[in-house]
Amino acid sequence: MRMMSLARVWARVSMMMAVLAVPMMPMAAQAPAAAGERQVGTVKSTSATGLTLTTAAGQDVVVTIPDAAKVLMVAPGSKDLKSATPGTLSDVTVGDKVLVVGDASGSGLTATRVILMKAGAIAATHQAEEAAWSKGGGGIVKSVDPATGTIVIASGLKTVTVMVTPQTVIRRYSGESVRFADAKVSTIAQIQKGDQLRVRGTKSADGSTITADELVTGMFRNYSGLVASIDATAGTVTLKDLTTKKTVTVAVGANSDVRRIPPMMAERVAARMKGTGAAPGAAGAAQGAPAADGAQRERSAGSDLSQMLSRLPTETLAGLKVGDAVMIVATSPSSDTETPMAVTLLAGVDAILRASPSGQTMTLSPWSLGGGEGGEGGGGPEGGQR
C-alpha cells in the first residue's frame, strides 16, 4: 500500500494520460480515435521503428511508430494538451510512460499518436510529493468537527489541529485494498475518531495547526506475535496477537509489503527501546527513568523502524515459516470482508518483541513516507487500532 509511493504517482499518471487521450484530435476526427486501440504502459525497450511497452498487467506490447505518427510530450500534472510539445521517436527512452493510440496489427500496435511522459519528470514529481507529505504530519484522530472543518489528531506527544477547506482533497482507504490508488475520494464526515490520518499542507509557525491541501485516512490494526500457521493457497498467516491474546488470521496479498529485518538490526532497535542503545552514559540514566520515558523510547524506536522499512530486505509469504516472530499493520475489516489485509508484515522481530512482550507500545505505521518530522505518522502506542 504504500500510499505515498512511486506507484501512486504513476497511477495518477496513467489516469491523466487516459484523460489526455480524449482531446487529442479535432472534433471531426474523434470517432476514428474512439475505435482505435489504446495501450498505456512503461517503455521496456526502443528500436529504430518503435518501442515495446509493458502494461500494468505485465503484458508486453510491441508498438510500431511510423514517421506520420504524432509524438507529444507532456508534463506530469497536465490536464490537457495545451502545453504539450512535439517530439519524435528518438525522445522515447526506457522507463518513460506512454499512452499509445493506434491500430492493432497482429500481436502489436501501429501507432497514430503517442503521448509521452519522461521518467525523469515523473521521478521529480514523486520526490516533490513525498517531500510535501513528509513536511506535513500524521497521527490518530481524537475528534472531528465537520461543521467547522477541524480535525484534532494526537501526533506523537503533541496535539495538532488539521484545518479542512473546500479545496482539500480527502481520501480514505478501503478495507479490501492496501494500495493508495484504490483509496476512495471521501469527506470529512466519514472520518472517525481512532482513524489514522496523514496530511500535507501548510503548517503554522508553531506547528500546532496544519491547513490541509490533501489528507488520507483509514482504520488500521496492528498485530504482533509468533506465526502459528501459514496457508499458502489462501494467502494468509495466523498468529496469536500479544496484545489481545486472540488468534487472528491476516491476508497477505500481492500489494502487501513483506520485509525481514536482519537479527543485528532488530537487536539494535530492541536496545534502543530498553534504553541500552543510546549514547554512552545514557543507559544508566534510562534504567531509573519513569515508565513514561520508557514508553517514549519505544514510540521513538517504532517510528524509526517504520521509516527504515523501505530499506529492509524483502520477504515473501513462501519465505515465512511457523514460529517466525512478526509485526503486522493491516487494514481494518470492512463489511465486505472479515479478514484484515496486511499493509506491512515485518518478520525477524524476535528481539523487538522480547523488549515489548505485551506488544502494546511497539507498532508499525501504515504510512510509507520515511523521514517525517519528529517521526510523526502513527508509530508508537497509538500507531494503530487493535
pLDDT in tens, 194-253: 888 889 999 999 989 999 999 989 888 889 999 999 999 999 999 999 988 999 999 998
Does pLDDT of 316 surpass 70? yes
**Binning pLDDT at 50, 70 and 90, where does residue 14 land?**
low
**Binning pLDDT at 50, 70 and 90, where does residue 83 land?**
confident
Residue 337: per-residue pLDDT: 59
What is the gyration radius of the CA atoms in the chain, in angstroms? 24
Residue 34: per-residue pLDDT: 39
Most confident of 258-267, 270-279, 326-335: 258-267
Amino acid occupying residue 143: S
How far is the C-alpha of 113 from the C-alpha of 26, rounded, in Å? Answer: 13
pTM, entire model: 0.58
Residue 96: per-residue pLDDT: 94
Residue 280: per-residue pLDDT: 34
Lowest-pLDDT choice from 4-18, 276-290, 370-384: 370-384
Does pLDDT of 303 surpass 60? no
The gap from C-alpha 77 to its chain's centroid, in whole angstroms, comes to 19
Higher pLDDT, 36 or 354: 354
Is 339 exposed, middle or buried (CB count within 10 Å of its CB: 0-12, 13-18, 19+)?
middle
Cα–Cα nearest to 346, from 331, 361, 364: 364
Residue 211: per-residue pLDDT: 95
pLDDT in tens, 108-167: 899 999 999 999 998 888 788 777 777 778 888 999 999 999 999 987 678 899 999 999
What percent of the chain shows pLDDT beyond 90? 44
Q: Span 85-95, mean pLDDT?
A: 94
Residue 365: per-residue pLDDT: 67
Residue 130: per-residue pLDDT: 75
The answer to whether 155 and 208 have CB atoms below 8 angstroms apart is no
Q: In what order do the strands lie in the sheet with 247-251?
A: 247-251, 236-240, 220-231, 325-331, 342-347, 257-260
Higher pLDDT, 119 or 283: 119
Buried b (16+ CB within 10 A) or exposed e, 144-172: beeeebebbbbbbeeebbbbbeeebebbb
Strands 150-155, 158-163: parallel, antiparallel or unpaired by DSSP?
antiparallel
Residue 283: per-residue pLDDT: 38
DSSP label of 313: P
Q: Hey, is 43 helix, strand or coil?
A: strand
